[in-house]
Amino acid sequence: MSEMAMSFTALAGFVVGALAVIVYRDQIEAPRRRDDVSDPGVTALPQGIASVLAVLPSSAVVLDAHDRVLRASSAARAFGLVKGDRLMVAELLALARKVRRDGEIRETGIDVAGTKFGQEITSFAVRVAPLGSVGQVLVLAEDQTERRRVEAVRRDFVANVSHELKTPVGALSLLAETIQDAADDPEAVTRFAARMQHEAARLTYLVKDIITLSRIQGAEPVPAPTQVSIDEVIGDAVDHCNTRAGAKDITLVTGGAEGLRAWGDEELLVTALRNLIDNAIAYSPEHTRVVVSTRPAGESVEISVSDQGIGIPEDLQERIFERFFRVDTARSRATGGTGLGLAIVKHVAASHAGEVSVWSKEGSGSTFTLRLPAFGGTAIPAHPDISLEAAQ
C-alpha cells in the first residue's frame, strides 16, 4: 500500500472513529426525537457530525436508511457524486447497502467519469462505514487522480530511463567484445575505441541530465536565489557549446541588451541555456548560425536562442518539453542527445518562477525564449559593478 493510501486510510479511520463517538454521545446524552420523526431512517444528523464533515478535505456523504443523502460536503457535490438528495454513483450506493446490512467497514477504489473541472476520469479511494444504529452510512471518497497521474509519470520515467541506458551500455559491451576479437587489427581497434568513447560520453551526458532533472523536477523555488549576471550566464553557456558548434561550422552569435540581471541560481541557468544552444546546434544544418539575444521585458528578462534548423511541426510544439520526447529520433540519437534537455529547461524556468516558450516553423528554424524574473523588480541594464544593496 502506498504512503498516500495509508495516510488516507488512517485519516478515514480517525474520522469514522470520531463520528462514532459523536453518534454514541448523542444517543446517550441527547433526548430521543422519535416523537417528531416517525421513520428512524430519516433521523437528523447527531450534533457535531456536520461540523466534522465540513472541515474534511475529502468528499463526504451521509446516507439515511433509505439511501437518501442527509449531508454531503461541497467536494462531493463539486465532483458530481451527489445531486440533490441522491448518491449518483451506483457502485458507491451498492457498497453503502452492503455496509448497512452487515455493519462491516469496506474500502475500495473507483473511477468516475465526467466529474469536476472537465476531467474525463476521476479516481477515488473510498471508505464506507456504518454510522450509528439507525441505518445511517458514512461514505468518504478521496480524489486520487493526481497521485495516480504522478505514479504513471514516474513509471514511464523509470521505463524510459531503463530503455535509454540499455542502448549505450549494450553498445559498450558489444564494442568491447569486438575490440577483443580484433586485437590483431590496430586500425579496427582504433575505430572501435573511438566509438566506445562516443557511447561513454553519451552515457555520461544521460546520467548527468537525469541527476539534474531529478534535482529540479519538483518545481520548487530556488532555495537561495542570488543576483545573476545574464552576460556571464550567456558567456559560460556559449563557451560550453563552442566545440560542438565548431564541428558543424555553426557560428554562435550573441547580442541584445547588456548588463541585465536576474534572480536565480547561476549554475542552473547556465545549464538551461546550454541545453537550448546544444539543441539549436543539433537540429541546425552545417554552415549556419545560432543567435543568443537578450532584452528587458518589464519585470522580466528574456533570453532567446534562435536557429536556422529544421523547425518543429505545430502539432508537436506542445510536447517538446516532455522528458525523452524527440522531434527527430534518428537525428537526436546520432548527435548523442538524451531527450531530457528541454525538460530540464522547463523545470529550471519553473523553479525560477519563469517560463520557456517556443516559436517555430518547419524549414525556417526555431526560437526558444527563456523568461526570468528581473533582479530588482525591473529589467533595466545595470552597471557591472552595481552592488546588491544599491540595486535593491
Top mean-pLDDT range of 47-61, 118-132, 212-226, 248-262: 248-262
Given a contact cutoff of 8 angstroms between Cβ atoms, the answer to whether 219 and 261 are in contact is: no
Residue 214: pLDDT above 60? yes
In this prediction, residue 313 carries a pLDDT of 86
Question: Each residue of 31-78: pLDDT tens digit?
Answer: 444 333 334 444 566 666 667 776 677 788 999 999 999 888 888 888
- The predicted model gives 71-92 an average pLDDT of 88
Length of the chain, please?
392
224 falls in which pLDDT band (50, 70, 90)? confident
d(CA 69, CA 76): 11
Whether residue 123 has pLDDT greater than 90: no
The answer, yes or no, to whether residue 290 has pLDDT greater than 90, is yes
19 pLDDT above the threshold of 60: no
Q: With CA atoms as reference, report the closest residue to 127 among 143, 100, 108.
A: 108
Determine the Cα–Cα distance for residues 330 and 291; give it in Å rounded to an integer. 25
Q: How confident is the model at residue 217 (pLDDT cuts 50, 70, 90)?
A: low
Q: What's residue 223's pLDDT?
A: 72
Q: What are phi and psi of 130, to 5 degrees?
A: -70, 150
| Mean predicted confidence (pLDDT) in 135-157 | 82
Q: What's the rounded mean pLDDT across residues 90-103?
A: 91
User: Exposed e or buried b for every residue in 251-266, given b needs 16+ CB within 10 A?
Assistant: ebeeebbeebbbbbbb
Q: Residue 118: its pLDDT value, please? A: 52
Kindly state the percentage of the chain with pLDDT values over 90.
28
pLDDT bracket for residue 329 (50, 70, 90): low
Rounded Cα gap, residues 201 and 171, in angstroms: 12
| Per-residue confidence (pLDDT) for residue 219, from 0 to 100 | 54
- Mean of the per-residue pLDDT values for the chain? 78
Share of the chain above pLDDT 70, in %: 74
pLDDT for 232 equals 95
Mean pLDDT of 201-211: 78
Lowest mean pLDDT among 134-143, 145-154, 297-306: 145-154
Q: For residue 113, what are the β-bridge partners?
A: 121
With 0.95 as the threshold, say if the pTM is over it: no
Q: What pLDDT, in 10s, does the model give residues 363-385?
A: 889 999 999 998 875 655 544 44
The residue with greater pLDDT, 244 or 208, is 244
**Minimum mean pLDDT range among 63-77, 169-183, 201-215:** 201-215
